Copies of this chain bind each other. A is one copy, B any other.
Amino acid sequence: MSKAENQPLFLGIDGGGSKCRSIVVNQRNEILGTGVSGPANPMNSFETTIHSIVESAELALLDAGMEKSSISQLNAGAGLAGVNFKEGYDKIMAWDNPFAKFCLTTDLHTACIGAHDGQDGAVMIVGTGSIGIDVRGDDHFILGGHGFLQGDMGSGAWFGLQAVRRALTSADLLSEPTIMLDLLLKHFDSATHLDIMEAMANKPAKNFAQLARIVFEAEKLGDAVAREVIEQGADYLSRLALRLFERNPRRFSMVGGLSPIVLPFMAKEVRERVEPTLQEPEMGAVYYARTVFELS
C-alpha cells in the first residue's frame, strides 16, 4: 500500500504505571508498527510520561519503516493511568505535544473499548492496580481504582504489599507464621526481615506488584496465610464484578497481568461470564481517537 493510501495515520497509546505501548495504524486499522517504552502515569511523573509517550511513538514509527519526523502526521489517541485525577489530566492536556492531533482518556476506557472491539461493555483491570468500568455510550460507570495506598484491593501491588506486611508481622511473631517470609527473604537475599523492610521502604506500587507472585507461590505450597490473602483479594474483585453485572453489560472481560492468576479464585458467576478481550488497549485508543476526531 502506498503512503497516501495509509492516510490518515493513527497512533494508539496505552500508558500505565510500568509501561507505555504504542501502535501506528493506517486508515484500515492495519497495524504498521509497534513500540514499547517506560512508565506513563502523570500522577507519578509528568516528564517521564511525555518522554515515554514520544519514545514509544518513535519506536512504533521506526518499526513501521517510517521517519521519526512523521510523528507530526499522527492522529494520536492516548489512554493513560492517572488521568482520572484532574491534576493528571490537566498536565497532559497542557502539554505542547508533537502530534497532528491528540486526544486523551483513561487507560481503563481504552482497555474497555479495545476489549469489546469498539462496542459497549464492561471490563475489570487487574494489574498493578484494580478497577472496573461499564461503558454505555457516554455513560461511564466506574468502581474501585482508588489507588495503591487508598484502595485497589486484589491488585498486584495490593497482593505484594500484603505479602510484605504479613511476612514482617509474622517475623515479629505478631501474626501467624507464613512461608511468604521465607520466600521474601530468599527473593531479597536477606538475612533478616529488617532487610525486606528496608528494601521496600517508600517503594512505588510497581515494585510491590512484582512481589504479587510470592502470594500465589506460597498458596500453591499450602500456606494458609497466603490463601487467606488471596481469598480476601478475590472476594473484593468478585463483589466489584457483580456490581458491574447489576447494570447488565453487553459483554464482560478481564484485562491486566494478574487477571488470569486471580480469576480461578473468584466467584463462579464471574468466572462463567468472562469473555476474551477482542483487541488490545492500544487499538481501543485508536478507536477512541477516530470517534473524537470524527475520522472513522
Contact = CB atoms under 8 A, between A and B. Distances in A.
A164 interface: yes
Contact of A243 (B174, B198, B236): B174
A174 B144 contact: yes
Interface string A157-176: 00001001100110011100
A85 B198 contact: yes
A128 B170 CA distance: 22
Nearest to A169: B151
A174 B239 CA distance: 6
Number of copies of this kind of chain in the complex: 2
Contacts of A144: 169, 172, 174
Contact of A197 (B143, B150, B200): B150
Contact of A165 (B150, B197, B200): B150
Contacts of A174: 143-144, 236, 239-240, 243
A156 to B, nearest CB: 15
A172 B85 contact: no
A263 interface: no
Contact of A200 (B150, B173, B202): B150
A31 interface: no
Contacts of A236: 169, 174
Contact of A43 (B151, B200, B201, B240): B201
Interface in A126-171: 143-144, 146-147, 149-151, 153, 161, 164-165, 168-169
Contacts of A173: 243
A291 B120 CA distance: 72
A268 interface: no
A240 B197 CA distance: 18
B161 A146 contact: no
Contacts of A153: 169
A266 to B, nearest CB: 14
A174 B143 CA distance: 9
Nearest to A196: B150
Interface string A42-60: 0100000000000000000
A147 B197 CA distance: 8
A239 B174 CA distance: 6
B43 A202 contact: yes
Closest 9 CB pairs of A and B: A146-B168, A143-B172, A146-B197, A174-B239, A150-B164, A151-B168, A85-B198, A147-B201, A150-B165
Given A149-B201, A174-B240, 12 more contacts: A43-B201, A143-B172, A144-B169, A146-B165, A146-B169, A147-B197, A147-B202, A149-B200, A150-B165, A150-B201, A174-B236, A174-B239
11 contacts: A85-B198, A85-B201, A87-B198, A143-B172, A144-B169, A144-B174, A146-B197, A149-B149, A150-B168, A173-B243, A174-B240
